[in-house]
């Protein structure tokens, strides 16, 4: 990806309550499209720190290095797709209970079996329904895990 860094910190607030309204962990966004990252950051940055990883193969390294509260993954990426990234995160001890949401403009109605197999908690088609996206993410985080 010419001109792209493998890891982009989109918004990073001060931990420990220094930023009013911020929640404890960060939201990891794994997407190779800057417009999607910018949209999700704009939607979430008043309540969450947003960390973006534009290279799906680096997502595990980023996940392991930070206090991640939820993961939002785009379906269509290379060399790994969203299902493969989700499976990799779920293979980690810390990844067994973190909420994972898949977003996609290409796959607008994935088979429930595919989502269950990759242990993905929620799916949202792009373009995002902003209200549903925010509400779903907050519900997943409040529960501490998904519907597995």
pLDDT more than 70, % of the chain? 81
When mean pLDDT is compared over 12-16, 30-34, 45-49, the highest value belongs to: 30-34
Tell me what the mean pLDDT of segment 135-139 comes to.
93
Q: What is the mean pLDDT of the chain?
A: 83
pLDDT at 119 over 90: yes
Residue of 57 and 15 predicted with greater confidence: 57
d(CA 104, CA 74): 6
State the pLDDT confidence band at 99, using cuts at 50, 70 and 90: very high
Other residues' Cβ atoms within 10 Å of the Cβ of residue 126: 20
d(CA 85, CA 75): 9
Which DSSP string do the residues of 100-144 spell out, in sequence order? EEEEESS-SS--HHHHHHTT--EEEESSP-HHHHHHHHHHHHHHT
Note whether 141 and 106 are within 8 A (CB): no
d(CA 38, CA 115): 25
* 46 CB-side CA count, 13 A: 5
Q: What is the pLDDT of residue 24?
A: 54
Q: What is the pLDDT of residue 112?
A: 87
CB within 8 Å of 18: residues ≥ 6 apart:
none
Q: What is the pLDDT of residue 145?
A: 59
CATH classification (class only), 7-143: alpha beta
pLDDT at 146 over 70: no
Other residues' Cβ atoms within 10 Å of the Cβ of residue 127: 11
Q: What is the pLDDT of residue 47?
A: 86
119 phi/psi in degrees, rounded to 5: 55, 45
């Amino acid at each position: 990806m010419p001109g792209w860094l493998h890891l982009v910190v989109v918004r990073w607030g001060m931990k420990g309550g220094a930023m009013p309204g911020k929640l404890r962990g960060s939201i990891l966004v794994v997407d190779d499209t800057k417009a999607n990252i910018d949209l999700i950051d704009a939607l979430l940055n008043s309540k969450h720190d947003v960390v973006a990883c534009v290279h799906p193969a680096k997502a595990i390294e980023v996940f392991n290095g930070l206090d991640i509260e939820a993961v939002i993954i785009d379906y269509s990426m290379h060399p790994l797709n969203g299902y493969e990234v989700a499976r990799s995160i779920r293979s980690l001890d810390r990844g067994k209970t973190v909420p994972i949401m898949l977003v996609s403009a290409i796959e607008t109605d994935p088979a429930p079996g595919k989502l269950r197999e990759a242990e993905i908690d929620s799916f949202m088609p792009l373009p995002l329904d902003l209200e549903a996206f925010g509400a779903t993410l907050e519900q997943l985080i409040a529960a501490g895990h998904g519907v597995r």
